[in-house]
Amino acid sequence: MTIADIAAATGVAVSTVSRALSRPSRVSAATRERIQAVARELDYVPHPPARALASGRTGTVALVVSDVTNPFYFGMIRGTQQQLTAAGYAHLLIDTEDSGEREVEMLHTMRRSLDGAILGASRLPARALVALAAEIPLVTVNRNVRGVPSVVIDTPAGIAQAVEHLVSLGHRDIVYVSGPAQSWSNQARWQAMRTALERHSLGAQRVGPFPSGRGSGSAAADAVLNSGATACVAFNDLFALGMLTRLRERGVRVPADLSVVGCDDIFGADFSNPPLTTLTAPIEQAGRMAVSLLVSRLDPRAPQPVRRTVVLPTYLTVRESTGSLTA
């Protein structure tokens, strides 16, 4: 079942069929209807690879994550999935296993079968990112590099709120639980933490870095306890959640003995024990935005100068893992 069959059945040329199907305005209403009717009747379905070969467009966009296992990405996956489907694109999922090289290699290899890609937390150095962007349309999430459109979740601004919250509860020794060193977000958060504490003339200390994953929570909890701090802000909720269970094991009461703040508000943060105070990030929306940015850039008949970088606000969700010290 090819357009040739349809052409034969309709008595027109294949080119006409092709146009009737993909650029309907280029063909008279009568012919168009006739062709479409026949196509429907014969249950014709276009052959994507053939189409891609001829046109260069594949109708596929990849979401690149560093670790599918991380619940943070679940939100992204949802967001991109929704928006891509809405825009008629297929959704490819790539896991780079935290390796920048793999990221480049994968994308490089697949660039011809992709119309574009969304990088959810790239591990790439800026120049490599720019180089990659020259090969294939890119949009980054939580990573801001000149020349590459991006959507960033403004967690740093939220960090200020979190610090405010903790200080107002009487905390003076607040420690940051550091994530992977190469993580852009991690650095941004730590930076924000320092300036926020400085505003209150408080010193900033940190523990870590720890590798991502809930497992890091145990080591992190111990380190925090060791630091003598009375409150901490964790790089992300996964850490915070991990800490919570470790603290419980060690008999440390949260928040009576130690307050814990997470980042992102991932699935589970609301029903943990205790429920986690965290910086709620519009992750899903970020995914949707990223797709919108990409798709509009892909559309040839679009007003090109789209905003290159959009920042999404974050807010503090206070639950039960923070409170005043109970001596």
In the complex, the residues that contact DNA under the rule CB under 7 A are 1-4, 11-16, 18-19, 21-23, 26-32, 44-47, 50-51, 53-56
Contact assessment for residue 224 and residue 232, using Cβ atoms and an 8 Å cutoff: yes
- 241: exposed, middle or buried (C-beta count within 10 Å: 0-12, 13-18, 19+)? buried
Cα separations in angstroms, 261 against 138, 214, 325 = 32, 15, 14
Query: Which CA distances in Å does 315 have to 111, 264, 281, 323?
Result: 37, 10, 7, 18
Choice between 227 and 268, CB closer to its own copies? 268
Nearest distance, CB of residue 277 and its own copies, angstroms? 15
Stretch that binds its own copies, among 22-30, 71-79, 142-150, 167-175 (CB under 8 A): 71-79
Identified binder of its own copies from the candidate list 5, 14, 34, 69, rule CB under 8 A: 69
Picked from its own copies, DNA, none, the partner binding residue 22 (CB below 5 to 8 A depending on kind) is: DNA
- Considering beta carbons, is residue 28 or 271 the nearer one to its own copies? 271
Contact residue for its own copies among 14, 21, 87, 111 (CB under 8 A): 111
**Which of DNA, its own copies, none binds 271 (CB below 5-8 Å, type-dependent)?**
its own copies
Q: Would you tell me how many other CB atoms lie within 10 Å of the CB of residue 255?
A: 23
178 binds, among its own copies, DNA, none (CB under 5 to 8 A by kind): none
Site for its own copies in 238-297 (CB under 8 A): 241, 244-245, 267-268, 270-275
Count CB neighbours of 304 within 10 A.
Answer: 9
Q: Which stretch binds its own copies (CB under 8 A): 27-35, 82-90, 178-186, 292-300?
A: 82-90
Given its own copies, DNA, none, residue 157, with its beta carbon under 5 to 8 Å by kind, binds: none
Applying CB under 8 A, what is the total number of residues that bind its own copies? 41
Q: 197: closest CA among 224, 160, 245?
A: 160
Rounded Cα gap, residues 155 and 149, in angstroms: 18
On the CB side of 225, CA atoms within 13 Å amount to: 18
Does 100 engage in binding with its own copies (CB under 8 A)?
A: no
Say if CB 269 and CB 241 are below 8 A apart: yes
Pick the piece of the chain touching its own copies (CB under 8 A) from 20-28, 30-38, 88-96, 137-145: 88-96
Contact segment (CB under 8 A) with its own copies among 5-13, 105-113, 143-151, 204-212 equals: 105-113
Cβ count near 11 (within 10 Å): 10
With contacts defined by CB under 8 A, name the span among 3-11, 109-117, 193-201, 305-313 that binds its own copies.
109-117
Candidate list 31, 81, 191, 227; residue touching its own copies; CB under 8 A: 81
Q: What residues have CB less than 8 Å from 151, skipping those under 6 apart?
A: 139, 140, 141, 142, 286, 289, 290, 293, 309, 310, 311, 312
Alpha carbons 259 and 135: distance in angstroms, whole number: 46
Please identify, using beta-carbon distances, which residue of 78 and 172 lies nearer to its own copies.
78
Strands 277-280 and 315-317: antiparallel
Residue from the set 68, 128, 160, 325 that interacts with its own copies by CB under 8 A: 68
Residue 27 touches which of DNA, its own copies, none (CB < 5 to 8 A by kind)?
A: DNA
Q: Going by C-beta distance under 8 Å and a sequence separation of 6 or more, which residues neighbour residue 54?
A: none
- Order of strands, edge to edge, in the sheet holding 259-264? 205-207, 174-177, 231-234, 259-264, 277-280, 315-317
Q: Which residues bind its own copies (CB under 8 A)?
A: 45, 47-50, 52-53, 58, 60, 68-69, 71, 74, 77-78, 81-82, 85, 90-95, 108-113, 241, 244-245, 267-268, 270-275
